[in-house]
Chains A and B, each alone.
Chain A
């Protein structure tokens, strides 16, 4: 929702780490979490005499990403040096792509709360290497540098100025993450840094067509912060303009703790990267065969899967949206239904219990589909109550087993046996003669009280659906 009369324009630049074993230009491991400066070699250390060699799989994954995002993949593209100085940039330049990138002209659909289905334009996707990490607070008055991340393969994905609100920016990013995870190109984990985003933000008066001066917003470390940071910057810009000021083109840093955006601490000298084609690498040629192979490697993507699940299983679009969050969850849903339960209960259980459990266990779907199907059937058939079912689920998740056996061992199987029910009912009635009288005198709402007593006596085992009937019978009337 914009301040009255203002329109926000946002473009996003996303860096995703490609799912390779080794780095972009050398054979070092690209795994996260190793002790500092242990995944290094002459190449990623920028030692004198070292030279880059292209990781073929990184290019394949980038091609796959480009195809999944509807881009035109260029058979020939050029690596370029982006020259600047920083302690975690060992060569004093980053090998990237500039005038002739791997892919251009793609798009990605996402759902905007305000505008419905929107197609973001993907201006370009190119490959490059990551820099290392600088840690500013580890040693007083010094910066500690770890080059494990130096040389890790990245794809940079740049949109046009397509988003009209911070919410839209976030929605796009979630859609992007889905597609790239589905295509197994990247795990897009903002916490681990395998997905990073910088935003360009400007505002203009509603109805204006020219773009306002934009600022770049950096240091956004989670999806939630995306909305926060962009909202803050938009508000800042509107406030400046409304008080008669002008927007300075600069880099703004989001500070999560202080909940502000502030200009980058130091005075920016003009960023002249002196791009030129990388003389240590001949042109990047993508073999024709890769296009077909990588297209085939792209599974059914989230948007299509959402459609299909909603249509085929007759579940609401919103539910389908939740279920396609990851391919694993979507496959799980289909497996549970295939094991013989109705789609809606399956969807409910998955959106509820299963995903809650998965969240606590690093995404693991711990109860196998057949077991969940059986459990759902038990609840539907009244063998266990819904409450009891949740307890059974917990045990199944923790220790496995067969749902009915687990229910029995926990004593949760509901008793529907007429004799047992009658016995409990009689006991309850016998213990509460005055209430019985009052009921017979017309206080029919006391039925609930008796149901409660029966449940207590049976330690919850009585089937609550059958108890009222038996009570009415025994109360006579």
Chain B
């Protein structure tokens, strides 16, 4: 894509309010990157937008928050270094829920992003901006991040491919930490092949991240996988009786196509699924409350008010710099870690996580190759619909959060539309089996039409 064409498409996508970087900055950022040695590599000339919580030398990294308004990172995230080395062009930072906390991008301090097909609806979150820009074909791929489904859920809502790698598959160095034991950089793509290519570039061992696995980068398959005799598990807990009928229809159609490709579908059970959300909403806020303690106005970022002493500096900066959702989670997190509560909440949640991981181990150890489920319980909801009750918003992640808790790779591809709104079908694979997962996704992608009404 030429620079001019790129800027045109980004401009066209302007009304989505998905791109945080002003276009003239994108123009100069892209031009500066073009002056480097001629682009070689697997992603030569491919423009990507990057979620605002991933550190880039170009543009600002504000994590959708006022507390980092105008912050310029003095280093590139490892994933960004690798993208650039592969010839990719970083075409701006995309909108997200503040510090990745949210499922609709409505919690961004810089305003919400519109759903690409219906401005009254949300694109999902927290990586809503990246999802929307790929869906609008402004860029063929984008980076997002996952803690509890924040790539797959918006990918499903917007009708694009979204991948969450195995925990430790992609370096977190330069990903602004939210829930450290859950966070991973994830990939959006217009196709499975495109997303897989980006994943292959950014993945692999990194000496700057102690939690990054000592493994080679993902090698994406070149061809769809032959699904003959592949056993795909269908967990009953992801198809509750009250599942949105449109979602169910789209999934059943996709399952038929999988069968037609030769796969055997088997009913399985992941009995602790319903505890995934409460487990997540102990662990993630707890870790976040600690990870966000560094935002104090001392060494970077703006200061708020005119603090007379250090206490005022902290309390004003954090009280005014953080939005309501972040404040809530920091307070909940501080509470569950506080003296007397650690064992009952965080301690117990880590064990609950063990039970959830065991569910998957049992199923994968019992001849199941991978799992197929809906990515979300509903299509994209309306803006404002889930803002009154914090827990209501949490439930949007009910099918995605389990993979984050168990550290497993998972991805969504568009499998149809319901009243014009995209629906995503999710694959969950055993740890480090991204190649198997991508091969299966390629096979499914070839036989479903994402834009087809279910």
What is A's interface to B at a CB cutoff of 8 Å?
Answer: 42, 45-54, 81, 83, 85, 87, 90-93, 143, 145, 147, 270, 272, 274-276, 279-282
Cβ of B174: which chain A residues have Cβ within 8 Å of it? Answer: 49
**Cβ contacts B288-310/A at 8 Å (1 or 0 each):** 01101110101110000000001
Tell whether A274 pairs with B298 under 8 Å between CB atoms, given A47-B73, A50-B173, A51-B209: no
Q: List 15 A-B contacts (CB under 8 A).
A: A47-B75, A47-B299, A47-B300, A48-B294, A49-B173, A49-B176, A51-B210, A51-B211, A53-B208, A81-B290, A91-B294, A145-B298, A274-B338, A275-B342, A279-B179
Chain A minimum-CB-distance residue to B342: A276
Query: Which 5 A-B pairs give the minimum distances between C-beta atoms?
Result: A92-B293, A279-B180, A274-B337, A279-B181, A49-B174
Cβ of B342: which chain A residues have Cβ within 8 Å of it? Answer: 274-276
Give the secondary structure class of B's interface: loop
Contact among A46, A83, A274 with B299 in the assembled complex (CB-CB below 8 Å):
A46
Contact count band on B: 35 or more
Task: Give the docked Cα–Cα distance between A90 and B286 (Å).
Answer: 19
Cβ of B292: which chain A residues have Cβ within 8 Å of it? Answer: 92
Cβ of B77 within 8 Å of any chain A Cβ, yes or no, is: yes
**Cβ contacts B177-198/A at 8 Å (1 or 0 each):** 1011100000000000000000
Chain A minimum-CB-distance residue to B346: A276
Please tell me if the beta carbons of A48 and B63 are within 8 angstroms of each other in the complex.
yes
Task: Give the docked Cα–Cα distance between A165 and B15 (Å).
Answer: 75
**Cβ contacts B106-120/A at 8 Å (1 or 0 each):** 000000000000000
Give the secondary structure class of A's interface: loop
Smallest Cβ distance from A146 to chain B, in angstroms? 12
Cβ of B287 within 8 Å of any chain A Cβ, yes or no, is: yes
Task: Give the docked Cα–Cα distance between A222 and B63 (Å).
Answer: 46
Smallest Cβ distance from A144 to chain B, in angstroms? 12
Interfacial residues of chain B within 42-81, with CB under 8 A of chain A in the complex: 54-55, 61, 63, 68, 71, 73-75, 77
Smallest Cβ distance from B353 to chain A, in angstroms? 12
Please tell me if the beta carbons of B339 and A90 are within 8 angstroms of each other in the complex.
no
Cβ of A42: which chain B residues have Cβ within 8 Å of it? Answer: 74-75
Please tell me if the beta carbons of B293 and A91 are within 8 angstroms of each other in the complex.
yes
Chain B minimum-CB-distance residue to A84: B293
Cβ of B180: which chain A residues have Cβ within 8 Å of it? Answer: 279-280
Smallest Cβ distance from B181 to chain A, in angstroms? 4
Please tell me if the beta carbons of A280 and B211 are within 8 angstroms of each other in the complex.
yes
Given contacts A53-B209, A272-B338, 5 further A-B contacts (CB under 8 A): A49-B77, A83-B337, A90-B294, A274-B290, A280-B180
Cβ of B17 within 8 Å of any chain A Cβ, yes or no, is: no
The residue among A46, A49, A274 with the most chain B CB atoms within 10 A of its own CB is: A49
Chain B minimum-CB-distance residue to A88: B298
Please tell me if the beta carbons of A92 and B337 are within 8 angstroms of each other in the complex.
no
Please tell me if the beta carbons of B73 and A282 are within 8 angstroms of each other in the complex.
no
Task: Give the docked Cα–Cα distance between A453 and B68 (Å).
Answer: 88
Contact among A92, A274, A279 with B294 in the assembled complex (CB-CB below 8 Å):
A92
Interfacial residues of chain B within 204-245, with CB under 8 A of chain A in the complex: 207-211
